[in-house]
Amino acid sequence: MKIASYFLMVFFSVSILACSKSKDDDQVNSYEKLVTPAVDSVIKAMGITVNKGVTPPNIEGTYVVSKSYVTKSNFNDALLHIVTGIDTTTYFNQNNSKLSIDCKSRFKYTYTSGKSQISTGNGYFISGEGNKFTVISSNYGELTDNITGKTAKYRTVGVVSGEIVKNDNGTIKGIQNYQSATIMQEVYQEPSLVIKPNQARMGQNGTGATSAFVPKID
């Protein structure tokens, strides 16, 4: 899943993110499988919402964050309080018996251009109860500086939380109280291009009164 990833003083064009299945499809997913103690400490310190529970609502469908806005960082962040782009994410193959879900996400950066990023996921987890949910993914990514040709390689943990809102006919209208976060877990190559391990950003949809709502488009 998307999870929207933004990195300090790095300029992007288009990001493609895929949250994929774990290697053992017979295993039930868990928070502990994807979140290390260090990352858990960052989640708690920043106040990142994690809706716990083993009966999450059905969230399958496509959602658009039209103005992905950085609301909080745990470091001196040049992108804080900036709209960085458009995030379109599709959730599918939700399996509550295994607490698993797949997703595809495309992030188009709108505030600048000049760099490119490709990310692939290797884990997903969904939790929650009632209409509230959280999706957590572990993602391997590569970011290339198109000017110098240098490529950073890294792993992040993404968190998306919210509450499903339905229409009168029972179909999904969208997500309210939407919140996203990206935490850098490890950097394998060219660390100067990306944020440091355990640095993190939180985001929402826009800056106005309706910023916590994300519509479902399909």
In a domain, 65, yes or no: yes
Range of the domain at 162: 14-215
pLDDT, position 109: 74
pLDDT in tens, 2-45: 433 444 333 333 444 555 554 455 677 899 988 999 999 999 99
What mean pLDDT do residues 75-96 have? 90
pTM of the model: 0.84
Cα R_g (the chain), whole angstroms: 16
40, containing H or E segment: helix 37-46
In a domain, 25, yes or no: yes
In a domain, 204, yes or no: yes
pLDDT at 98 over 60: yes
Question: 46 with 174: CB under 8 angstroms?
Answer: no
In a domain, 1, yes or no: no
pLDDT, position 211: 64
In a domain, 147, yes or no: yes
In a domain, 8, yes or no: no
In a domain, 9, yes or no: no
In a domain, 2, yes or no: no
Question: 160 with 180: CB under 8 angstroms?
Answer: yes
Burial (CB < 10 A; 0-12, 13-18, 19+), residue 210, is exposed
What mean pLDDT do residues 92-119 have? 78
Number of domains in the chain: 1
What mean pLDDT do residues 97-118 have? 76
Six-digit token string for 195: 């944020």
Helices and strands counted in the chain (H then E): 2, 10
pLDDT in tens, 169-204: 999 999 999 999 999 999 999 999 889 999 999 999
